[in-house]
Structure 1
């Protein structure tokens, strides 16, 4: 029998190749100063008589690339994560598999996120976007100004133990000043804290529906209806209880009140 032997490239060699690639790109860019002034040639049109080149500047190219990460930023750096996780747990607690559908839950979570994050967006718009649009500050200054309210919101929701865990992973001092911690460390700590808080709220929402399931299962067992699924009988009771207590309004109110503004 023939045996296939696969060779794995060591991590050090991958790092060396990546370093060579980055250095080569930097040398290529630095050797072409016209790129910074005229931009990269994007399209060349030749009509037989004249030739015209259409170029794009590197700043615009990098900005367009950064915009591709906007959906991930919306998921990770806002209240969206906590809301969508709680709504998904609530649907599971009710015993509903596809109702409300995923698109409806995502729409509700997105609307609530926009409403909860409105003070942050207003601060970013007034202090970062408008001055940049009017030419009063540069693009990097606008990014630095916009980071402050977003960072303040994220730190207000981040638990200290999650932040310390990320600092240990990044080999940073645990007793570092909060204002000096990198945004790359604050972001994963914020996401971990949001997941923990979402699971805590979901657990509290799960308890009453679990009690209904236990009661229905006990009654069916006492009546000898062991072949009848308790979920079929308990589902209408859970829906009635949820509607009578105005469960959607209570869930939305609890989620909104769970976000600290400190």
Structure 2
């Protein structure tokens, strides 16, 4: 059975919470009686967990890096709303699925499937399902970022980065590292377009056309440069190769 990313993300979020939040079912006693307050709390927890499912995709995959880099690329070209935000996010989502499919499949095979079949307890299934994501995040975390966050908590000071590090440390370190790396890549992407802007501005100044906005004149040249170079394919391929 192939893993469904959305179902897998929802399942992992349910299982990645602390043990108290994992066991959402309430013991209603031998006679099956339960209080209205208990059932209300159960329903509230389920709705809360489901509302956090999209956040899981942002937290433990390559989506933050991809969507940030693509947004910087759009700004570098000089386009404000083209491609639209929905298209940028959709492209980042499918590139994320392309990169993370082996991780999703491994988590599904080793953790979710045995758990659904009743071969594993909830806690053991959680650990097995989260293991591929822990390894993925630990391999991408900047050690200095992790050390800086670890120093903020007395109980984690001096701890080393590892796949079995606490999720409360591993996830924010991973997010900060991915955003920082996205800005570094975005700077390199921005440079060619900045050079075109400077050249166009210098030509306009030398011609005495100071009232003509350089950004308007440079935009067609940047679009032509990007289209001739097949920029979307090159950028997407380079971003994906960074994870393979």
Q: TM-score range by the shorter chain?
A: 0.7 to 0.9
TM superposition score normalised by structure 2: 0.82
Quote the residue 2:162 is aligned against. Answer: 178
Conservation of the 8 A alpha-carbon contact between 2:143 and 2:161: no
Quote the residue 2:220 is aligned against. Answer: 236
Deviations 1:76-131 (A, max 9, x none): 21111000000110000000000000000010001011110001100111011110
In the alignment, the residues of structure 2 paired with residue 102 and residue 152 of structure 1 have an alpha-carbon distance, to the nearest angstrom, of 30
Quote the residue 2:236 is aligned against. Answer: 252
Quote the residue 2:28 is aligned against. Answer: 34
Q: Quickly say closer, same or farther: Cα 1:56–1:209, change in 2 above 3 A.
A: same
Structure 2, gaps ≥5 residues long: 1-25
Deviations 1:30-62 (A, max 9, x none): xx963697374569xxxxxxxxxxx95977864
Quote the residue 1:193 is aligned against. Answer: 177
Quote the residue 1:104 is aligned against. Answer: 87
Higher radius of gyration, 1 or 2: 1
Relative contact order: is structure 1 or structure 2 higher (C-alpha 8 Å, sep ≥ 6)? 2
* TM-superposed deviation, 1:221: 0.2
Q: Quickly say closer, same or farther: Cα 1:250–1:42, change in 2 above 3 A.
A: farther
In the alignment, the residues of structure 1 paired with residue 42 and residue 31 of structure 2 have an alpha-carbon distance, to the nearest angstrom, of 11
Q: 2:134 aligns with which of 144, 151, 169?
A: 151
Q: Quickly say closer, same or farther: Cα 1:224–1:69, change in 2 above 3 A.
A: same
Q: In structure 2, the residue corresponding to 1:38 is in which secondary structure?
A: coil
Q: 1:139 aligns with which of 81, 103, 122?
A: 122
Q: 2:147 aligns with which of 164, 170, 195?
A: 164
Quote the residue 1:123 is aligned against. Answer: 106
Higher relative strand content: 1
Conservation of the 8 A alpha-carbon contact between 2:69 and 2:185: yes
Conservation of the 8 A alpha-carbon contact between 2:64 and 2:179: yes
Structure 1, gaps ≥5 residues long: 1-31, 44-54
TM superposition score normalised by structure 1: 0.77
Q: 1:213 aligns with which of 190, 193, 197?
A: 197
In the alignment, the residues of structure 2 paired with residue 123 and residue 184 of structure 1 have an alpha-carbon distance, to the nearest angstrom, of 23
Q: Quickly say closer, same or farther: Cα 1:138–1:57, change in 2 above 3 A.
A: farther
Quote the residue 2:6 is aligned against. Answer: none
May I ask how many residue pairs the two structures share in their alignment?
218
Query: RMSD between aligned alpha carbons?
Result: 2.4
